[in-house]
Amino acid sequence: FFGQTVATRLERGDLLKVNHLLWDGKKKMFYGSKGVRWIKGLSTVVGDTMEATAHLEHVELEGNVRARTVFQRGNEGDEP
């Protein structure tokens, strides 16, 4: 596959964006390169490359991996 490819995990709502995605049918693995972004709720992890199993149970980002998380404040009466 070429161009930007998006795979989503519906049961969790995660979104995986990959700029260049290849499928290895023998190993049943996805390989991504040229930029990968994994969005999990309010957290985003970015890396250069990716390896993932066929059903995205295991996703590994590599090369200049960075993460950003947004924390939300609870209600006024909530414990810290």
Confidence at residue 40, expressed as pLDDT on a 0 to 100 scale: 87
Confidence at residue 16, expressed as pLDDT on a 0 to 100 scale: 85
Confidence at residue 69, expressed as pLDDT on a 0 to 100 scale: 92
**Is 80 within the bounds of a domain?**
no
Query: Could you read off the pLDDT tens digit of each residue along the chain, which spans 80 residues?
Result: 556 677 766 667 888 888 898 999 999 999 999 999 999 889 999 999 999 998 888 999 999 999 999 887 775 555 55
Q: Count of domains in the chain?
A: 1
C-alpha distances in Å from residue 19, one per residue of 28, 43, 71, 77? 19, 19, 28, 44
Task: Name the residue range of residue 44's domain.
Answer: 5-69
**Is 35 within the bounds of a domain?**
yes
CA distance 7 to 38: 10
**Is 76 within the bounds of a domain?**
no
